[in-house]
Structure 1
């Protein structure tokens, strides 16, 4: 799929990007609905210098994770600033208030995160609850892998493991916000104790 083909098959925008954000569109292609993430509306300098790096990085991560439960499949790169992936019809976890998530949702989130880590990928931005989707069938999906780390060698593996420790705090944080009664002692320990990466970041920022 090239740019002119995808633009002629847009069904509707999913997210209208502002500033440096990408826009996301629902597109019909070969009888299938896919999502297209596109930086074409970003500022020119960002589009030319930064967006190609972000697109290549996320495309590489999604290709690595293809077939992993709860991760959208990569469909193809359109050009230097856009790519297509499996469309997931779901509701961002960030829209749910206290008491609105069924208890069985939380172990499903843990299972998807564990499966991603088992493939050697840490997400890096799961504290943003909008990156978790709850589909109508009850399945959990993780989106937006712009900050993801793939373990490919000794150094990247150590970094991936450090970022994965931060990922693992996303579920206790979510429970604290929407279902504090489900917090376990292990959850509370994770919330009270910063990871090595969090300690390093805090020291770097002088906070």
Structure 2
């Protein structure tokens, strides 16, 4: 029995009374080593994402594979009903999870084709981030712009919650660091994808955050760091220099300007780290 057939059996078992067909299942991305295979199931009634860790090495599958599935199910359940976050999350097995598919283009793909977004997109993204935090969830990986989508309607959507955490169990200063990490992602995207500058308060916040972030040890996945992160140091340093240059230019151009409406929306994000 192939893996596609196993997925269909689990879908039929989890969605009582529904009939799923293997012909409607498509592999979107083949995960390597510790990454999930990502499938899309689409028919007249359903449009789902299925993430499957069952192909991973046994030791990864039994440990982190189980953890990632459990974590994503918990986070999406806590965020059920939030616009811009996938709903209808169901655990299909110890190594497999499904939830509603969200149509959209990643911000990384938009950068590759030099497409821009209006400032209102980033204000909405900031509001979505605040809503997630009010629900007690911090994403921690939206600085990876592949985890943020622009929907066909131009709305921000956030995906891939397997590295997300609950806020309630952490000390106050750790919570502030994690919340600020999510907020810094909004400013990073704003700088790289919008022709208009962020509000002055957000620029000050981002400058302070990027100075502090170099001391944060938990950046990226440990497995990635073990492989080849040292090869990317030069390009990351260049990106930081480019961001700082943009900040300097936009701060100068904003000198003496009145605060705009996006400024009031983002003002609360600029507290002390």
Q: Aligning the two structures, in what range does the TM-score lie when normalised by the shorter sequence?
A: 0.7 to 0.9
Q: CA, structure 1 residues 36+202, in 2 after alignment: closer, same or farther (shift >3 Å)?
A: closer
Following TM superposition, the consecutive aligned residue runs of length 4 or more in structure 1 with deviations greater than 4 angstroms are none
Whether contact under 8 Å (1:120, 1:160) holds in the other structure is no
TM-score normalised to structure 2 length: 0.66
The 10-residue stretch of structure 1 (192-201 or 27-36) with the greater mean CA deviation from structure 2: 192-201
1:186 aligns with 2:201: yes
- Deviation of the 1:72 alpha carbon: 0.6
Q: Which residue matches 2:180?
A: 165
1:133 aligns with 2:149: yes
SS at match of 2:81: coil
In the alignment, the residues of structure 2 paired with residue 92 and residue 152 of structure 1 have an alpha-carbon distance, to the nearest angstrom, of 30
Match for residue 77 of structure 1 among 84, 91, 96: 91
Aligned residues: 202
Q: Which residue matches 1:177?
A: 192
**Which of the two has greater strand per residue?**
1
1:19 aligns with 2:23: no
Q: Deviations over 1:36-85 (max 9, x none)?
A: 11112222221122200111111111111111121111431000011111
Structure 1: where are the runs of 5+ without partners? none
- Deviation of the 1:157 alpha carbon: 6.3
Match for residue 101 of structure 1 among 117, 124, 133: 117
Match for residue 68 of structure 2 among 39, 47, 54: 54
In the alignment, the residues of structure 1 paired with residue 70 and residue 26 of structure 2 have an alpha-carbon distance, to the nearest angstrom, of 24
Q: CA, structure 1 residues 105+150, in 2 after alignment: closer, same or farther (shift >3 Å)?
A: same
**Which of the two has greater helix per residue?**
2
Larger Rg: 2
TM-score normalised to structure 1 length: 0.85
In the alignment, the residues of structure 2 paired with residue 202 and residue 66 of structure 1 have an alpha-carbon distance, to the nearest angstrom, of 31
Whether contact under 8 Å (2:191, 2:198) holds in the other structure is yes
SS at match of 1:181: coil
